[in-house]
Amino acid sequence: MVLKESHFREAFSLIILSTVIFIGLKELFPKELFANKLHAKQSTKGVVVDSLLLEAIENSQSSKLDTMSRETAESINAIIDQSFSDDLVQTADSLPFQAIQSGMQDSNYAMNNLAPFFEQLHNLERSKNGNVRIAYFGDSQTDGDILVSDIRTLFQDKFGGKGVGFVPITSESASSRTTIIHQFSPLWKSNSFLKSKDSSKPYGIAGNFSTTDSGDSTTSVWLRFKGGLQKSNATLDNPTLFYGNSTNLSGKIRINSEVDTIVKELSPTSLVNTLELTKNSSKKIELNFTNVDSIPFYGCNFDDGLGVHIDNFSTRGNSGLPLGILNTEIMRVFQEKLSYDLLILQYGTNVLGYGTNEYGWYKKRMSRVIEHLHNCFPGVAILVISTADKSSKYGTEMKTDSAVVPLVTAQRDFAIATGCGFISLYNLMGGDSSMVKWVNENPSKANKDYTHFNKRGAKEIAKMLFDEIDKGYNEYMTKNNRSFSSIFNSAHDRK
């Protein structure tokens, strides 16, 4: 009997010790192993995450495990010493992260880094001539031209401009987009930088290219566009096709517009080639491609050439890291042809949800991405917009996910360190637990996934972002003593 009691005490002590060691070492393991089910479901449902993000997370975890192995002995000894103490270890995952707001009250940082962009806006506003172009890179928060279309409208209302800008050959969100009616043949094959880290592939400005094995002399591959529902995008102005390099010189395209039908030959001899589809504006246009196998096609551009134009380059599941594999030479040709004045990067939705609150790895990698973009688009200003608030369930209550503020902080840090402007979308929408409020408002402004805005909310966010950029522009004008009267007088004196 005494022997059994002794074995029982030993077994019980071993269980207690094992439990305490597990609790103590939990912080050293990859946190996604312990992520709550709701969190995991929200982060993966219907989302294809880019391969570079998965690789970065895996490398980050491996680094943590290496550190853990070096410290395991010390940690275990410390835990054994405290194993029967009343003060058990409390894990960080048990409570939502409480933001330390020091230095994060303002949403607008380093906007003076956008001076080249502001100068171009000023020249446009002063002369009422020329154009300013913005490339808006994002994830599912801007899918289907949501949010971006509202920012585009605000810019065009103030500075002029018509058209939706650049539209890829294929799009996951074509059916939900209202700023242009976009249809394409199922024979097109889309190649996205989200699924491959091969930088040798000829990805275009939108991070993809489309090819087809059909399109021979008897079978055509088609593409159709029709003007959108708003006045500013009701017509297709200056339609231009962009395509890449190939040894195939037999490709042709038949262009059907409201005015006429013409056939043009393709000449894929340069890294990026353009073809004016028609000299006239049209409400709709259909393109039929023949003998175009092996030619990479990028998309079509529609704008009136005056005012502000914003191209929406959204990709579901994108973390921002794939921008680092865009070919520098190809991007510089796109820059020559489209002349961007500002790149906007709005990412973070797909970086959250992996059970980690440490984003040093993301800060380092995105810093390299931005340096690469500076090289691809020399002299072009870059604006980083942080992740929005996202809520997860803690106990029975929805609160700001513990990873949001650390990620916003990392985004702010790499933006400023690389000479970019920065706007904290998290702060703009209200900070801690603001997503819960946006979801619960009547009418609601965000979806029940507590991550994405609906159209109503996106419109409000667009206004907030535009106002922040406009605020930076006005401060730039004041700081540099710019006014219409002084500019007019100096120009008159020179004459």
Q: Check residue 283 and give its pLDDT.
A: 94
Token pair of 168 as six digits: 């890829």
Lowest mean pLDDT among 11-15, 145-149, 223-227: 11-15
Q: Are residues 174 and 150 in the same domain?
A: no
User: Is the pLDDT reported for residue 76 higher than 50?
Assistant: no
| pLDDT digits 0-9 by tens, 287-318 | 999 999 999 999 999 999 999 999 999 999 99
| pLDDT tier at 105, thresholds 50, 70, 90 | very low
Q: Are residues 272 and 338 in the same domain?
A: no
The DSSP bridge partners found for residue 274 are 242
Q: Are residues 374 and 299 in the same domain?
A: no
Average pLDDT over residues 318-339: 97
Lowest mean pLDDT among 72-86, 219-233, 459-473: 72-86
| pLDDT digits 0-9 by tens, 115-170 | 999 999 999 999 999 999 999 999 999 999 999 999 999 999 999 999 999 999 99
Greater model confidence, 14 or 284? 284
Q: Are residues 321 and 300 in the same domain?
A: no
Final residue belonging to a domain, choices 304, 329, 355: 304
Average pLDDT over residues 19-24: 52
CATH code: domain of residue 199: 2.60.120
* 341/120 Cα distance (integer angstroms): 7
Asked if 442 contacts 81 with a C-beta cutoff of 8 angstroms, the reply is no
Greater model confidence, 364 or 93? 364
Q: Check residue 397 and give its pLDDT.
A: 94
| pLDDT tier at 53, thresholds 50, 70, 90 | confident
Q: Check residue 19 and give its pLDDT.
A: 55
Final residue belonging to a domain, choices 253, 284, 304: 304
- Domain holding 394, by residue range, is 29-75+103-161+305-482
User: Is the pLDDT reported for residue 38 higher than 70?
Assistant: no
CATH code: domain of residue 113: 3.40.50.1110
Q: Check residue 236 and give its pLDDT.
A: 96
329 Cβ contact list (under 8 Å, min separation 6): 271
Nearest to 117 by CA among 419, 489, 456: 419
| pLDDT digits 0-9 by tens, 355-403 | 789 999 999 999 999 999 999 999 999 999 999 999 999 999 999 999 9
446 Cβ contact list (under 8 Å, min separation 6): 435, 438, 439, 452, 453, 454, 457
Q: Are residues 331 and 469 in the same domain?
A: yes
Asked if 118 contacts 126 with a C-beta cutoff of 8 angstroms, the reply is no
Tell me what the pLDDT averaged over the chain comes to: 82
Other Cβ atoms within 10 Å of 259 Cβ, number: 13
The pair phi, psi for residue 376, each rounded to 5°, is -70, -35
| pLDDT tier at 260, thresholds 50, 70, 90 | confident
Where do we find the tokens 């605000």? 154
Q: Are residues 153 and 185 in the same domain?
A: no
| pLDDT digits 0-9 by tens, 167-222 | 999 999 899 999 999 999 999 999 999 988 788 999 999 999 999 987 666 777 99
| pLDDT digits 0-9 by tens, 408-438 | 999 999 999 999 999 999 999 999 999 999 9
User: Is the pLDDT reported for residue 42 higher than 60?
Assistant: no
Q: Are residues 314 and 456 in the same domain?
A: yes
Other Cβ atoms within 10 Å of 290 Cβ, number: 20
Domain count, the chain: 2
Final residue belonging to a domain, choices 304, 332, 359: 304
Q: Check residue 158 and give its pLDDT.
A: 96
Q: Check residue 245 and give its pLDDT.
A: 98
